[in-house]
């Protein structure tokens, strides 16, 4: 490893920052099983930005059998808030496969979101409030990833 660092330093100006702890806003924690990636702070920022810190949490990200459609008869609203929320959820779901399906469905309506779409997105945020500390395990071996992964402290 030292030789590689010296080689890279000859061609580029590099600095060894030690073990990886944060990368692109993701916390990296090493455990005996592998590395855990989480975005707890980013998750809490989403909840706060949505004004839902004091909301009632949801045990699931989306109602079962929820049918979201292009709502011609539903009320319109300023779509910028919905689009910002969906963009943030799309980035978050890299470490949160539990919301991937919900976010995928909600992202289909960014062109013309309606009230029912915003309500469904709000439910995802309520779910995130309860599960902010979860992450994804990148195992050392080829084993199956278990879910949810509690984030190690320290």
Question: Distance of CA 150 to CAs 31, 32, 39, 131, Å?
Answer: 11, 14, 12, 9
Distance CA 58, CA 106 (A): 17
Would you state the pLDDT for residue 27? 92
Residue 19 binned pLDDT confidence (cut-offs 50, 70, 90): confident
**Which region holds residue 67: left if phi is over 0, alpha if psi is between -120 and 50, else beta?**
beta
Considering the domain boundaries, does residue 13 fall inside one?
A: no
**Does residue 1 belong to any structural domain of this protein?**
no
Determine the pLDDT at residue 48: 95
Residue 83, domain member (yes or no): yes
Chain center to CA of 148? 13
Q: Report if residue 132 sits inside a domain.
A: yes
39: three-class secondary structure by DSSP? coil
Under 8 Å between Cβ of 105 and 113:
no
96-121 per-position pLDDT tens digit: 999 999 999 999 999 999 989 999 99
Residue 12 lies in a domain: no
Structural domain contains residue 4: no
What confidence category does residue 38 fall into, taking pLDDT thresholds of 50, 70 and 90? Answer: very high
Note whether residue 14 is domain-resident: no
Domain assignment present for 81: yes
Q: Count Cβ atoms within 10 A of the Cβ of residue 24 and give its class: 0-12 exposed, 13-18 middle, 19 or more buried.
A: exposed
Domain span at 120? 20-150
The total number of structural domains in the chain stands at 1
| Distance in angstroms (rounded) separating the CA atoms of residues 58 and 128 | 8
Q: Residues of the chain with pLDDT > 90: what percent?
A: 55
- pLDDT tier for residue 70 given thresholds of 50, 70 and 90: confident
């Amino acid at each position: 490893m030292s030789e590689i660092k010296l080689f890279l330093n000859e061609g580029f100006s590099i600095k060894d920052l030690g073990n990886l702890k944060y990368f692109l806003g993701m916390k990296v924690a090493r455990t005996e099983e592998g590395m855990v990636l989480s975005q707890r702070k980013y998750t809490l920022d989403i909840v706060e930005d949505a004004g839902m810190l004091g909301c009632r949490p949801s045990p699931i990200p989306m109602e079962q059998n929820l049918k979201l459609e292009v709502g011609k008869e539903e009320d319109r609203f300023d779509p910028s808030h919905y689009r910002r929320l969906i963009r943030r959820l799309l980035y978050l779901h890299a470490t949160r496969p539990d919301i991937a399906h919900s976010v995928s469905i909600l992202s289909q309506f960014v062109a013309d979101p309606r009230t029912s779409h915003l309500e469904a997105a709000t439910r995802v945020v309520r779910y995130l409030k309860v599960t902010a500390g979860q992450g994804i395990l990148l195992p050392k071996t080829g084993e199956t990833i278990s879910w949810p992964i509690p984030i190690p402290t320290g």
